[in-house]
Structure 1
């Protein structure tokens, strides 16, 4: 039987969606409900919190990057393995990019596609009855996106709660909870968003605190009644990224953390074995692996340790002499000649590609990307189109003389020029691959 599901949305980032979602997931799990979290859009971090709250893997559902068949297949797999699915919106509920209908990347696409109701989280600090105008705007903006209930966040007093709730409920929208202002409920952040679940000190206690807040402030029974069945149309995994090898050496530690859950899950489902190793522990890829994957993360925070990791360096250089290595974003930075950290200190990296990067000279790069590969590599065959996302603050200070890996365009198809590099068996790019393009 398919799970029931609900979307947690908001007008913008920072409204409290993630705190409500994590607390809701753990609170439902406490009831013995098999609950799973999902995240709209290309977010690497929140699925880790969802998994920590539920004990089940998180998943991204991205209407821009994933062709419809893959999106449906992932949604169906999520629903089959759960009784209840909480789908957290990225940014604002309707925030995406212009494009084909239903392919904007916004959570609203998923609301329309699967008929899922939305639980709207409103940060009402600094306002009272005006919150009703915001709620009404959301309720009437798109008839195919149903706002089923409202949660008031950062409420200042019981009078404040009554003013907001009475005005919203007069519109016919139920208010199913109100969360009082509490600075201790704020989730720690850094330059790419939230501190990851794996790095959060006292993670279990923090998630339990979120669940305690939800149980005290929200009507869980009412929220569960708002949910509707998540029953996607048939799909398939034909557009999923195929395993780059039978046995994949995967860099995995505090410096290398960003790999989309659906990518690793599909590699395993396709029969590949993932063999993790830790560069920060001075480990190299196992020699019996077929390919090495350096995922994204925060190498700029660990550049000195990575530079001094002689066994890691020797192992990767040995591996690259005969077998393919691919680096994404942070992994791409480590494949280069050097990395300048935020303090302005330059550290030697692997030197398998000729570029150098700097975190001291920061520039934000953010957005969907579609890449046409110029050559065979771990991402696919020459000529293949890969859809993905780029989000980093590092900038390239030296480009080197390696061959470009791909021709890049933004999410609307506007050309961005050549991207990434390749040399011998080594390839790398700043963008994170999500799926094969359509």
Structure 2
């Protein structure tokens, strides 16, 4: 089956403004009457919610390290019925797993190459002029087989600055698709895991509308549409979204628990599972007739006091675990533990279904891909199953007395200490599950 043409919005590095460009582009194209399918390259669970707010269509992650060809094809097929697909890259265009080839396995460049999408590079030109062309030329030529559509200049200081940068790009043969003047009010608010969540933005729709108007004034939207190309041409018979781990799944969903990959939840729904949302922060217990309770990641460290006071939620978890499975990922794993120590050093009692004690006072970044071979079952997967996921948190384990759930290694095969835990019917991991190995 044929997919619509697409583009990859990427950059030389993080912090160049590509998310703002992405949101403005999605909204502007949607305002022009196009059906736009957004994607996110890499294991980001915050940006897809912003994409959906911008164009009204669910956004999905594409991850060439964690996903096999079948799952990539199944997720790419979500673009059916759209007029154009727009993907947002992660970090720098060629940043990926070390030692896996010149471009880095799991990079945005690899995603773009597999999908056949030309790259639009967002270049922060502050502090330079013609020299920006050398950066763009290097990115354009680093992988000759990767289509390169052109650049959008960001944080341009003045008309004279823009003229000088354009002269350099012209000399290098790099097409300029737009030039965005410097505006400090177009920056999205952030916290320790990246952007604040879309639901927490005080006036997100107005902000995105302003991004769209800004891009419409300073970017050649027609040229960007014309540059789109590629898209998966076939849909392998083996392609499918992940299957659900149970029939009726009670899913924690609120400001403390929201980091669930869209392709996972969509796969569960399409296979016939019933998702039963509940809010631990509102002291709601999981549905009594649920087959499984699933606590996704999020920000329990910012809501530890409220979670400790949520007696109905905690009692409901304990009751469920007496007869049926409970699983937590990252923040959900922390909430299943004995205690969580917040940034001020205050200890808060958590559900106590695992012995895990974590501290956000003693912060250290844990970041990277993970491959886990299960030593015990977890919902939907038997012992011995190999899973792929991603870990990103700042909390430190102080106590982990329970049996390890899995043998966990990073993308280079080195073992990591965050093995997850299992006690009876309760399990948890610090990595967010993306796919079965090879799926």
TM-score by length of 1: 0.97
User: What is the CA deviation profile of residues 163-187 of structure 1, one whole-angstrom value per residue up to 9, with x for unaligned ones?
Assistant: 1012102222210100000000011
In structure 2, what is the Cα distance between the partners aligned to 1:365 and 1:205?
34
The 1:207/1:349 distance shift into structure 2, 3 A limit, reads: same
In structure 2, what is the Cα distance between the partners aligned to 1:365 and 1:45?
17
Q: Counterpart of 2:202 in 1: which secondary structure? A: coil
In structure 2, what is the Cα distance between the partners aligned to 1:218 and 1:82?
22
In structure 1, what is the Cα distance between the partners aligned to 2:104 and 2:74?
16
The 1:154/1:340 distance shift into structure 2, 3 A limit, reads: same
Determine if the alignment matches structure 1 residue 351 to structure 2 residue 352: yes
In structure 2, what is the Cα distance between the partners aligned to 1:432 and 1:232?
30
Q: Counterpart of 1:415 in 2: which secondary structure? A: coil
Structure 2 unaligned blocks of 5 or more: none
Contact 2:281-2:307 within 8 A present in 1 as well = yes
Q: Counterpart of 1:280 in 2: which secondary structure? A: coil
User: What is the CA deviation profile of residues 368-426 of structure 1, one whole-angstrom value per residue up to 9, with x for unaligned ones?
Assistant: 000001111115111000000000000011122x1110000101222225601111110
In structure 1, what is the Cα distance between the partners aligned to 2:238 and 2:259?
21
Question: Structure 1 residue 103: deviation in Å?
Answer: 7.5
Residue 68 of structure 2: aligned partner: 67
Residue 247 of structure 1: aligned partner: 248
Residue 14 of structure 2: aligned partner: 13
Contact 2:166-2:176 within 8 A present in 1 as well = yes
User: What is the CA deviation profile of residues 242-265 of structure 1, one whole-angstrom value per residue up to 9, with x for unaligned ones?
Assistant: 211001000000000100000000
Structural mapping, 1:4-403, within 5 Å: 4-75=5-76, 77-98=77-98, 104-235=105-236, 240-400=241-401, 402-403=402-403
Determine if the alignment matches structure 1 residue 405 to structure 2 residue 405: yes
CA RMSD of aligned residues (A): 1.4
Question: Structure 1 residue 215: deviation in Å?
Answer: 0.6
Contact 2:74-2:241 within 8 A present in 1 as well = no
In structure 2, what is the Cα distance between the partners aligned to 1:235 and 1:207?
36
The 1:63/1:155 distance shift into structure 2, 3 A limit, reads: same
Residue 422 of structure 2: aligned partner: 422
Contact 2:133-2:174 within 8 A present in 1 as well = no
Question: Structure 1 residue 69: deviation in Å?
Answer: 1.5
Contact 1:406-1:418 within 8 A present in 2 as well = no
In structure 1, what is the Cα distance between the partners aligned to 2:398 and 2:382?
29
In structure 1, what is the Cα distance between the partners aligned to 2:244 and 2:326?
13
In structure 2, what is the Cα distance between the partners aligned to 1:48 and 1:81?
20
Question: Structure 1 residue 236: deviation in Å?
Answer: 5.3
Query: After alignment, is 376-385 or 248-257 more displaced?
Result: 376-385
Query: After alignment, is 405-414 or 251-260 more displaced?
Result: 405-414
Question: Structure 1 residue 147: deviation in Å?
Answer: 1.7
Divergent runs of 4+, >6 A: none
Q: Counterpart of 2:405 in 1: which secondary structure? A: strand
User: What is the CA deviation profile of residues 269-307 of structure 1, one whole-angstrom value per residue up to 9, with x for unaligned ones?
Assistant: 111111100001110110111100000000011110110
Q: Counterpart of 2:172 in 1: which secondary structure? A: coil
Residue 435 of structure 2: aligned partner: 435
The 1:324/1:191 distance shift into structure 2, 3 A limit, reads: same
TM-score by length of 2: 0.97
Question: Structure 1 residue 98: deviation in Å?
Answer: 3.1
The 1:88/1:236 distance shift into structure 2, 3 A limit, reads: farther
Q: Counterpart of 1:74 in 2: which secondary structure? A: helix
Structure 1 unaligned blocks of 5 or more: none
Contact 1:150-1:176 within 8 A present in 2 as well = yes
Contact 1:240-1:436 within 8 A present in 2 as well = no
